[in-house]
Every structure is written in C-alpha cells, then in structure tokens.
Structure 1
C-alpha cells in the first residue's frame, strides 16, 4: 500500500507548551484512517500541522512523496489535501453556491457543484441561501461539499458529525461510505465508534501527544476493550 502522507517524529505546540511529542503516522492511499483520542490529546494539532496551519518544532511531514514540513496551506491544498475543519467555518455572507465555488479546483471527471447537490440534496434546495441561514447540519454538509470541490486525493474531517442531529449524522456517514467506495482516501476524527467501525480500515490512538496504539480494523475489533481505555475519562 502506498503512503499518501507520512509523518515522522512530529513535535509541535503553542508558545512554550508542547502538545505533540514525536508523532509517527502514515495515511495509506485508498483507505479510511481514523485518529482517535480524548479531548486535548493532540488530534487537532496534528491536523493543523498537516494542513500547514501550525509549523512543527521538529519532525517531517511528507505528502505524495513531497517534503511538506511547514509548507503553507495553499501548497498543502495544491498537493491534494482537503480539510473539513472543526466548527465548519463556512463563509456566512456567501450563498451555498458561492461557498462551493469559492475554493473550487476543477478536475476531469471530478466534483462539480451539481454533483455536490446530488450527494446532498438539501444543499441543492438551498443553493441561494446564505451560510448564516443554514442549520448546523446543512453547514456541515456545505463544509464537506466545499472540501470536495477542491477535488482532493485525501479528505480530512475534524469532528465530522459532532453536535448534529441523528438523521443528519446518518446522511453524512452514508456519504462518507460512498466516498470510500469511490476510492477516496479519508482521515477521520470522530467520537462515534460504531459508525467509524463501519468504514475505517486503520486506527491511530493518540494520548498526551503520542500515538499509543495503531492497527487495522481487525486489530481494533480484537482489542477494542484495550483501545477504549484511551478514549474514556
């Protein structure tokens, strides 16, 4: 299997506070990988380093065989990484359609605005509505659609379904399952273990800034009780 992203001995933090203490992580092309851990353990900090939003103190980040350690976000996006950030961060004063087109990167047979509406019919019904007029679930759909419009080779979702109504969560998980079937590489952060188990191929567990467990879906099933001790207070 080809490593789409390889992270080695990654150290990072904020000011004098170190958060990551030598993270080793590899994301395999064509698979769904899950990064799990309690709040404050370093999940989002890892994502920020991958996306170029936080410069590491040490270590290397390789994306598609390119050294992207400390590269600016636009270069990471050009390398094919799309982010659905925690908190959605859509443009509230732009319409659904304008949000989707704002960061679009066309590709042959890739994602288009109409294809997003096929995946999320609610967005099609609200294409002229402004971002601030959408529900939380609709905003999350829009955030996913906006990331897909960059036609990424890797889609990263930070807290993909947190705080959403059950029906909206199910719609998003169904869409992620379809994306997996289409061969898109995905890195997920989410707390819903049952839904993650439906689509995840590999798991990484982070505890106090270090990867303390990693394994395949079969490994996770076999050692679930052991793994879950790192996930609960």
Structure 2
C-alpha cells in the first residue's frame, strides 16, 4: 500500500486528491491550517488518513510535524505539493506588498520546505514521486497575475531542476499546471471573501473541476516506474490563449 502526503488537504484540489487517492487504496497524510476541518476528515476517512495541522508558511511547525510522524507513516511514496494561493488582481503598482509576501511564503517557501524535508527520505530508499501543483499562470502572463504568476513559474522551473538533480535515481517529479478551475476556494481567497466577484469568474463556463485534477494526479503516479511525466498543462475546452495585447496611443 502506497502512502501519500498531500498539502492543503482541507478543500479544493487537496481534498479531491485525498479522496481520490484513498479510493484507489492509498494511505494519505493530509495537512492544512484548519484543525477542526482535518479532524472532520479524519473521522470521515478513517484510519487510512492521518491529519497534520500546520500553516505551510510556518517552517518550524512543518519540521516539527513531519519529524514527529508516527513510525508507520514514515515512508512517503507520493508527495503532492498542493497548498497555494493567489491574493488580489491589482496591477503591480497598486498591489499590496504583504499579499506578495504571503504568496511567496506559501507558494514558494512552503513548497520547498516540505520538499526539503521529504526528499532525502525518498533518496534514501531510491523511490518516490513528487507532484507539484503549478498553474498555467507560470507560463502565460495576464494582468494582475504579477507575483502569483511568478511563484508558479518558480514551481515549474523548480520541478524541472529537481529532475536534473535526481538523474540516476528512481524518483519522479511532475508539475500539474491547471487553467480555469472551479469548485474551489481559490477565487474567494483571491478576492478576500467577495463571493459575488469570485462567482463571476466561473459564470457560464464549464470549468475544470478538482476531481479532474485529482484524477490526473492519480494517473501520473500510476504510470510505470520508468515513465516520468515532466509537466502537464490542463485547461477547460472553453479556455484558450488570449491575443497579445497592444497599447495604442491616443
């Protein structure tokens, strides 16, 4: 039986990934800030689910929780770095600096901290798979995407560089890059609780769902051990590439 560690497990992609992996016979460690929510999930999922409560921005808490895992949960076969967020959609000159720092602390520092603690374990046993949840924002810029897009570009390049470092091992690394996805708290958080504004993002669009992304994560990990999918970009059929913008005089 494989053991997976999924960050950001209390909602959205993370919750769907946990459910999908559990249904496929995995044991799952789910992490998140909301302890009550994790306890509810633990009661729902049973003994095959281990909740770890910490804020992905708190490096000391990450280390404490991961180093004090029960002995039967020590060997991680799959790490899904899912926890992340976007804050604001203002242009760079009007953006909130603290929002920028929060995105960097969560999407970059939190992700690399988790990876730094788990990767040596995988190297020691020469097996494992790291799946990072990136975004098309890491490849395609859009107005207001400034630092969020920058953090996801980091995730893309970090994933590829991990592959370079792990050459000669049996450890796999993949980056999943979703486009427009609904059914999550992503836009509610981005717009700081303005649910009406968040709802308009998904109005009249058949968007990608958390379950779609969870199925892709499972598929990636279930490929034969000699097959590594470096990155996979996912958009709803309704979404495509914007024309290059031109700012005209006058």
TM-score w.r.t. structure 1 length?
Answer: 0.35
- Larger relative CO (CA 8 A, sep 6+): 1 or 2? 1
Q: Give the structure with higher Rg (CA).
A: 2
